[in-house]
Amino acid sequence: MSEYNHNSFEPKWQKYWQDNNIYKVDIDKSKPKYYTLDMFPYPSGAGLHVGHPMGYIASDIVSRYKRLKGFNVLHPMGFDSFGLPAEQYAIETGQHPAITTEQNISTFKSQMNKIGFSFDWSREVQTSSPEYYRWTQWIFEQLFNAYYDKDENKAKDIAELVKHFEANGSEGINAECDDDATVFTAEDWKGYSDNEKATILLQYRLTFLSEAMVNWCPALGTVLANDEVKDGVSERGGHPVERKKMKQWMMRITAYADRLLGNLDRLDWSDALKEMQRNWIGKSIGCELDFKVADSDITLTAFTTRVDTVYGVTYVVLAPEHELIPTLTTDAQKEAVETYVEEAKNRSERDRQSDVKTVSGVFTGSYVINPLTGEKVQLWIADYVLSGYGTGVVMAVPSSDDRDFRFANHFDLPIIRVIEGTEDMEDPTQVKKGKMINSGFLNGLDSDEAIKVAIDKLVESGQGKAKVNFRIRDAVFSRQRYWGEPVPVYFDENDSPQLVPDQQLPLNLPEVENYLPTPEGDPPLGNAKDWKFDDKFGYELTTMPGWAGSSWYFLRYMDPQNKEAFVSKEAVEYWNQVDLYVGGTEHATGHLLYSRFWNMFLFDMGFIGHEEPFQRIVNQGMIQGRSNFVYRVKGTNQFVSYGLRKDYDVQPLYVDVNIVNNDELDTEKFKEWRKDYADAEFILEDGKYMCGHVVEKMSKSKYNVVNPDVVIEKYGADTLRLYEMFLGPIEQSKPWSMQGIDGVWKFLRKMWRLFYNDQGQLVVTDGKATPEELKILHKTIKKAGEDMESLSLNTTVPAFMVCVNELAAAKCHKKEVLEQLLVILSPFAPHIAEELWHEALGHEDSVILASFPEFDASLLVEASHTYPVSINGKMRVKIDLPMDISQEEAKEAVFANEVVKKWVEDKPIKKFIFVPKRIVNVVV
Site for RNA in 728-747 (CB under 7 A): 728-729, 732-734, 737, 739-740, 742-744, 746-747
Distance CA 123, CA 125 (A): 6
Length of the chain (residues): 924
Angle of the 53-68 helix axis to the 771-790 helix axis, nearest 10: 120
Selected from 432, 749, 815, 843, the binder of RNA by CB under 7 A is: 749
Contacts of 499 (CB under 8 A, 6+ apart): 141, 144, 145, 488, 489
CB atoms < 10 A from the CB of 804, how many?
Answer: 22
Nearest approach in angstroms of CB 329 to RNA is 20
Q: Which stretch binds RNA (CB under 7 A): 25-33, 348-356, 410-418, 444-452?
A: 348-356
Q: Which stretch binds RNA (CB under 7 A): 185-193, 257-265, 720-728, 834-842?
A: 720-728
Residues 782-801 contacting RNA, CB under 7 A: 792, 794-795, 797-798, 801
Contacts of 466 (CB under 8 A, 6+ apart): 285, 286, 287, 455, 459
Question: How do 146-149 and 154-157 pair as beta strands?
Answer: antiparallel
Q: Which stretch binds RNA (CB under 7 A): 96-104, 350-358, 373-381, 702-710?
A: 350-358
In terms of CB distance, is 191 or 868 closer to RNA? 868
Q: Binding string, 176-195, against RNA, x = CB under 7 A?
A: --------------------
Selected from 209, 690, 727, 840, the binder of RNA by CB under 7 A is: 727
The helix (H) or strand (E) run that includes residue 325 is: helix 325-328
Nearest approach in angstroms of CB 247 to RNA is 23
Contacts of 267 (CB under 8 A, 6+ apart): 274, 612, 614, 615, 616, 617
Quote the DSSP letter at residue 837.
Answer: I
In terms of CB distance, is 319 or 555 closer to RNA? 319
Report the amino acid identity of residue 758. D
Residues 617-676 contacting RNA, CB under 7 A: 661-662
Question: How do 315-318 and 393-396 pair as beta strands?
Answer: antiparallel
In terms of CB distance, is 268 or 275 closer to RNA? 275
Q: Binding string, 534-553, against RNA, x = CB under 7 A?
A: --------------------
Q: Which stretch binds RNA (CB under 7 A): 418-426, 496-504, 566-574, 724-732?
A: 724-732
Q: Give the E-state strand segments of 674-760 in sequence order.
A: 681-683, 692-696, 734-735
Nearest approach in angstroms of CB 372 to RNA is 15
In terms of CB distance, is 197 or 471 closer to RNA? 471
CB atoms < 10 A from the CB of 346, how many?
Answer: 8
Nearest approach in angstroms of CB 5 to RNA is 12
Distance CA 208, CA 249 (A): 5
Residues 366-425 contacting RNA, CB under 7 A: 383-386, 389-390, 392, 394-395, 397, 401-403
Residues 72-101 contacting RNA, CB under 7 A: none
In terms of CB distance, is 298 or 622 closer to RNA? 622
Q: Which of 681, 686, 688, 627 is nearest to 654 (CA)?
A: 627
Selected from 589, 595, 641, 780, the binder of RNA by CB under 7 A is: 589
Selected from 91, 233, 324, 802, the binder of RNA by CB under 7 A is: 802
Report the amino acid identity of residue 320. P
Residues 238-267 contacting RNA, CB under 7 A: none
In terms of CB distance, is 195 or 353 closer to RNA? 353
Selected from 107, 182, 284, 498, the binder of RNA by CB under 7 A is: 284
CB atoms < 10 A from the CB of 762, how many?
Answer: 14
Nearest approach in angstroms of CB 353 to RNA is 5
**584 makes contact with RNA (CB under 7 A):** no
Q: Which of 720, 695, 696 is nearest to 708 (CA)?
A: 720
Q: Binding string, 750-769, against RNA, x = CB under 7 A?
A: x-------------------
Q: Which of 99, 1, 95 is nearest to 43 (CA)?
A: 99
Check if the beta carbon of residue 105 is closer than 8 Å to that of residue 47.
Answer: no
Q: Which stretch binds RNA (CB under 7 A): 180-188, 495-503, 762-770, 915-923?
A: 915-923
In terms of CB distance, is 96 or 669 closer to RNA? 669
Residues 838-897 contacting RNA, CB under 7 A: 866, 868, 870, 872-875, 878
Angle of the 271-281 helix axis to the 591-604 helix axis, nearest 10: 80
In terms of CB distance, is 433 or 734 closer to RNA? 734
Q: Binding string, 215-234, against RNA, x = CB under 7 A?
A: ---------------x----
In terms of CB distance, is 142 or 589 closer to RNA? 589
Nearest approach in angstroms of CB 404 to RNA is 8
What does the H/E/C string look like for 727-751?
Answer: CCCCCCCEECCCCCHHHHHHHHHHH
What end-to-end distance do the CA atoms of the chain give, in Å?
A: 62
Number of residues located near RNA, criterion CB under 7 A: 81
Distance CA 724, CA 296 (A): 70
Report the amino acid identity of residue 117. F
Residues 465-524 contacting RNA, CB under 7 A: 469, 471
Q: Give the E-state strand segments of 732-829 in sequence order.
A: 734-735
Nearest approach in angstroms of CB 374 to RNA is 20
CB atoms < 10 A from the CB of 219, how many?
Answer: 12
Distance CA 510, CA 531 (A): 7
Nearest approach in angstroms of CB 795 to RNA is 5
**909 makes contact with RNA (CB under 7 A):** no
In terms of CB distance, is 23 or 269 closer to RNA? 269
Phi/psi region, residue 31 (left: phi>0; alpha: psi -120 to 50; beta: rest), is beta
In terms of CB distance, is 202 or 744 closer to RNA? 744
Q: Which stretch binds RNA (CB under 7 A): 94-102, 415-423, 721-729, 818-826?
A: 721-729
Distance CA 488, CA 136 (A): 10
In terms of CB distance, is 166 or 275 closer to RNA? 275
Cis peptide before 414 (omega within 30 of 0): no
For 414-469, the DSSP string reads -----BTT-TT-SSGGG--SSBB-S-GGGTT-BHHHHHHHHHHHHHHTTSEEEEEE
Calculate the dihedral angle through the C-alpha atoms of 898, 900, 903, 908, rounding to the nearest 10 degrees: -120
Distance CA 91, CA 97 (A): 9
Q: Which of 23, 11, 16, 62 is nearest to 849 (CA)?
A: 23
In terms of CB distance, is 183 or 809 closer to RNA? 809
**271 makes contact with RNA (CB under 7 A):** yes
In terms of CB distance, is 4 or 34 closer to RNA? 4
Nearest approach in angstroms of CB 742 to RNA is 5
Selected from 7, 168, 339, 358, the binder of RNA by CB under 7 A is: 358
In terms of CB distance, is 689 or 726 closer to RNA? 726
In terms of CB distance, is 263 or 733 closer to RNA? 733
Nearest approach in angstroms of CB 363 to RNA is 17
CB atoms < 10 A from the CB of 627, how many?
Answer: 24
Q: Binding string, 304-323, against RNA, x = CB under 7 A?
A: xxx------------x----
In terms of CB distance, is 143 or 394 closer to RNA? 394
Nearest approach in angstroms of CB 886 to RNA is 17
Residues 101-130 contacting RNA, CB under 7 A: none
